[in-house]
Structure 1
Amino acid sequence: MTTTTPRAVVRDDGQPAGAAVEAVRLVNVRKVYGTTANPVAALDGVTLGLPSGSFTAVMGPSGSGKSTFLQCAAGLDLPTTGRVYIQGEELAGNSEAVLTKFRRQRVGFVFQQFNLLPTLTVMQNVTLPLRLAGRKIDRRRCREILGRVGLGDRLDHRPAELSGGQQQRVAIARALVTDPRVVFADEPTGALDSRSAREVLELLRESVQVYDQTVVMVTHDPVAASYADSVVFLVDGRLAGGLDNPTADAVAERMAHLGETHDVQAGA
């Protein structure tokens, strides 16, 4: 009697049926810039899944594809080939209007430059994403979030009246107010002094540990990366390994030797 092994059922995103849906998943993602005659692959076959409720730092040398990774993973830019999923929902095939609505509902952003509107108060800056999305503004919850980031007594202040660290905390509150499942942070501490940077990183880690959100942070700073659960390294647009439970020293050591070994791979 001949027996056959049943095939495993696989979802569209490449994961086995029944597996927990990841917060972010990239499948063989390539992003090519330039002309047909002179293409430049900013991302070259990246496959990676990030679980819900995790804090991941993305690192690599200049030109490694970190910013392109964030833009494609967040739906700010579409890959040339490959697939990107947020909470199991593929981003491709949608109009820009649909993508914009999706980002407003599911994704938060924190950038190095705080991108606050100078004429608006702290409260008005924080509620702006809700207004743009046409959602009802729950001022009690907004005050609660601003209290969480240490700005409960600054609701009526304008950005010019705040320090750099306080402005970045406003930006974090603005990113959290829509209750996004994933927060993408691009060099969020790059313009801050060490004390303010530490406070911002602790807030990001708290949003993961206490509120079960997912944070994906691009950084060049090993100290910042040490606040994450894990670090993913990129070299020349390709994955170059990772590091769990990172320390600043371990990250710095790995960064110093990136590209010297043969662990650069097309996927993970």
Structure 2
Amino acid sequence: MTPAVRLDSVTKIYGRSANVVRALDGVSTAIPSGTFTAVMGPSGSGKSTFLHCAAGLDRVSSGTVRIGGTDLGELNENGLTRLRRRRVGFVFQAFNLVPSLTVRHNVGLPLRLAGQRPNRARVAEILERVGLAGKAEARPAELSGGQQQRVAIARALITDPDVVFGDEPTGALDTVTAREILGLLRDVVHERQGTVVMVTHDPVAASYADTVLFLADGRIVDEMSAPTAEGVAERMTHLGAWA
């Protein structure tokens, strides 16, 4: 089966001459479809760069990135934009909702940007799935942080994407709400056979994943299957020395 996301010898370099930063250094990994993968590492390890390159938000300096069978390096900017709108969903720590739009219109925004008219029944179905039935006409400011993140997840799912990428999606939430959001992301995998790739600094959040990838100095230095919060936390304390 073709992996949902595949990176082969990916390097990402920022800056020039004396100010060069090698954010990713020959990263290779294949993320199977229908799985939940967490990406962890110390500050500056390359986690966010990994996510941005894997999702097509940033071009790699060398190597290849594929979503499904599509080589992102072969797409021009318009092609990348179309791929992100149709095949990729995003959930960010800051929610990134449009304050002036209702919940319904925020959820349908990716479809409108892709030139499609959102189906109200489909939007209502997604909102019910994330526990926001009855909130379609509310504005983001009228919602709690957890509810806003649920809107962001609904927005990520509205295009039925191949992969949902999360950048610290529970970082701004309290513990109880964070666990509810992580449960929703697990449901994306279990109920929809979707694929989730999430960057996090939280061992408890990582324990919801099927696999944890550990980054250090721009390289994948370890991998853990069936993670526990305790096991992830213990591994993180030795990551720098091990790397």
The TM-score normalised by the length of structure 2 is 0.98
1:30 aligned residue (11, 17, 20): 11
Deviates more, 1:103-112 or 1:130-139: 130-139
Q: Note the 1:91-240 alignment, pairs <5 A.
A: 91-240=72-221
Q: Tell me, in whole angstroms, the C-alpha distance in 2 between the residues paired with 1:112 and 1:96.
A: 25
1:82 — aligned with what?
A: 63
SS in 1 for 2:240: coil
Give the secondary structure class of the aligned counterpart of 2:74.
coil
Which of 219, 229, 235 is the matching residue for 1:248? 229
More helix by share: 2
* Shift of residue 129, structure 1, vs aligned partner: 0.6
Q: What CA distance in whole angstroms lies between the structure 1 residues aligned with 2:85 and 2:7? A: 20
SS of aligned partner of 1:216: strand
Q: Which amino acid aligns with 1:46?
A: V
CA distance in 2, matches of 1:154, 1:138: 16
Q: Which amino acid aligns with 2:167?
A: D
Counterpart-to-counterpart distance in 1, 2:69 and 2:167 = 23
Equivalence for 1:15: none
Runs of 4+ in 1 over 4 A off after TM superposition: none
Q: Distance in 1 between matches of 2:176 and 2:98?
A: 24
Amino acid at match of 1:250: G
Match of 2:226, as an amino acid? N
Deviations 1:197-237 (A, max 9, x none): 01100000000011011000000000000000010000000
Partner in structure 2 of residue 13 of structure 1? none
Say whether 1:53 aligns with 2:52. Answer: no
The aligned length equals 243
Alpha-carbon distance in structure 2 between the residues aligned to 1:56 and 1:93: 25
Q: Secondary structure at the match of 2:171?
A: coil
Q: Distance in 1 between matches of 2:9 and 2:213?
A: 16
Q: Could you tell me how far apart the structure 1 residues matched to 2:117 and 2:33 are?
A: 26
Gaps of 5+ in 1: 1-19
Q: What TM-score, normalized by structure 1, do the two folds share?
A: 0.89
**Match of 1:82, as an amino acid?**
G
Secondary structure, aligned partner of 2:227: coil
CA RMSD after TM alignment: 0.8
Provide the rounded CA distance (Å) in 2 between the counterparts of 1:37 and 1:112.
33
The whole-number CA distance in structure 1 between the counterparts of 2:214 and 2:101 is 38
Deviations 1:38-79 (A, max 9, x none): 321100000000000000000000000000000000000011
Alignment of 1:63-74 (within 5 A): 63-74=44-55
The SS at the match of 1:77 is coil
Which is higher, the Rg of structure 1 or of structure 2?
A: 1
